[in-house]
């Protein structure tokens, strides 16, 4: 009962101060897959998956060394943190942010696929073809 009171109080404070999302636990990404195919044949492939306490990751960016495992996990996690994705993220904003961070012009994209699974069961899926 005390926990319920504390959570209600924190939520109320968050609503009053406008920080409700930071008061409640942030949704964690447990699975992230991004594939961007360019019209010139280049392909970007970033993956990050939490399996229990283990992380599997892949970081394939044209012109950079291919990374797998823990090395890839840190690079992909850094990329994810810079995006601040949520299940309700605006799709066009996400596309623009992702392409900007990768240094890709939208006109050069042949296909864009993004799939994100959050620890609360929510998903974010975005696809477009250029």
pLDDT in tens, 23-72: 345 689 999 999 999 999 999 999 999 999 999 999 999 999 999 999 99
Instruction: Assess whether pLDDT exceeds 70 at residue 6.
Output: no
pLDDT band at 102 (very low <50, low <70, confident <90, very high): very high
Provide the Cα torsion 64, 69, 75, 78; round to 10°. 160
pTM greater than 0.75 (yes/no): yes
Residue 78 reports pLDDT greater than 80:
yes
pLDDT at 3 over 60: no
Q: Which of 62, 55, 105 is nearest to 80 (CA)?
A: 55
Question: Do 92 and 124 contact (CB within 8 A), yes or no?
Answer: no
Total Cβ atoms within 10 A of residue 45:
15
Q: How confident is the model at residue 130 (pLDDT cuts 50, 70, 90)?
A: confident
In contact, 87 and 67? CB cutoff 8 Å: no
Smallest Cα–Cα separation from 119: which of 25, 23, 21, 28? 28
What does the pLDDT read at residue 76?
A: 97
Q: Is the pLDDT of residue 10 over 50?
A: no
Residue 9, pLDDT > 60, answer no
Note the pLDDT of residue 12.
Answer: 40
Query: What is the maximal distance between C-alpha atoms in the chain?
Result: 60
Give the pLDDT confidence score for residue 26 in this predicted structure: 62
């Amino acid at each position: 009962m005390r926990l319920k009171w504390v959570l209600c109080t924190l939520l109320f404070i968050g609503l009053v101060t406008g920080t409700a999302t930071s008061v409640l636990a942030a949704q964690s990404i447990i699975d992230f897959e991004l594939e961007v195919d360019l019209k010139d044949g280049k392909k970007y492939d970033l993956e990050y998956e939490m399996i229990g306490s283990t992380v599997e990751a892949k970081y394939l960016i044209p012109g950079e060394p291919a990374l797998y495992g823990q090395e890839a996990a840190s690079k992909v996690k850094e990329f994810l943190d810079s995006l601040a994705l949520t299940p309700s993220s605006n799709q066009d904003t996400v596309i623009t942010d992702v392409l900007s961070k990768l240094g890709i012009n939208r006109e050069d994209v042949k296909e864009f696929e993004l799939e994100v699974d959050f620890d609360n069961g929510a998903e974010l899926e975005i696809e477009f073809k250029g």
